Amino acid sequence: MDEATIRSKPRKARIAPEDTLDAQIGYNLRRASALALNDFTVELADAALRPVTYGMLALIDEKPGIRAAELCRLLGMKSANMAPLLAELEARGLVERDDHAQDRRVQVLALTKAAEAAMPAWRRQVRRHEDRFLQQLTKKERATLLRLLRLIWTEEE
């Protein structure tokens, strides 16, 4: 073979099976996340909620009177990112800020009556979304997935 023929032949890369893209956990998490996000967006389009805004509302619902700093911590967000989202939810009439009883510099968060009334339906929609998104998993597999994902991002054992 001449040099031109050798250079034109593509070289077959030797890649270990565990190093292929499809074997990488991060890649698979990203693909699953993209599917979940798309389906969530469709399911909650009528409410105009995104996963982050729904998460904020759900936690405020679960912990009425929560401080914004605690909400940031629980959601793993920076306060600079949280502030415009809180302003958006407040402008939409879904969240109220109130002065803390002992420290007027601190604001506590609560859902408005409209958001309180809507939360049960939004939670049902999220449950529908998760049922659809995870339909290929058994109940036991879902519990295992949830436990494993929590192990990755929490400090709990």
Does the residue 143 lie in any domain?
Answer: no
pLDDT at residue number 157: 45
Q: Which residues contact 79 (CB under 8 A, 6 or more apart)?
A: 68, 69, 72
Give the tens place of pLDDT for each residue, 24-39: 999 999 999 999 999 9
Please give the residue that has the higher pLDDT: either 1 or 25: 25
Joined together, the tokens standing for residue 124 give: 């049902």
Does the residue 8 lie in any domain?
Answer: no
Distance between CA 119 and CA 113 in Å, rounded?
10
Lateral strand order in the sheet of 66-67: 66-67, 107-111, 95-99
3-state secondary structure of 66: strand
Does the residue 89 lie in any domain?
Answer: yes
How many structural domains is the chain composed of? 1
Contact 74, 103 (CB under 8 A): no
Q: Which residues contact 66 (CB under 8 A, 6 or more apart)?
A: 59, 60, 108, 109
Mean pLDDT of 11-34: 89
* Structural domain span for residue 45: 22-135
User: Is pLDDT of 144 > 90?
Assistant: yes
User: Is pLDDT of 1 > 90?
Assistant: no
Joined together, the tokens standing for residue 92 give: 């939409």
CATH of the domain at 91: 1.10.10.10
Does the residue 115 lie in any domain?
Answer: yes
User: Is pLDDT of 94 > 80?
Assistant: yes
Q: Name the band, by pLDDT with cuts 50, 70 and 90, for residue 5.
A: low
Does the residue 130 lie in any domain?
Answer: yes
Average pLDDT score, the chain? 90
Q: Is the pTM of this model over 0.85?
A: no
Distance between CA 50 and CA 41 in Å, rounded?
6
Mean pLDDT of 45-59: 96
Task: For strands 66-67 and 107-111, give the pairing.
Answer: antiparallel
User: Is pLDDT of 19 > 80?
Assistant: yes
Joined together, the tokens standing for residue 14 give: 């030797």
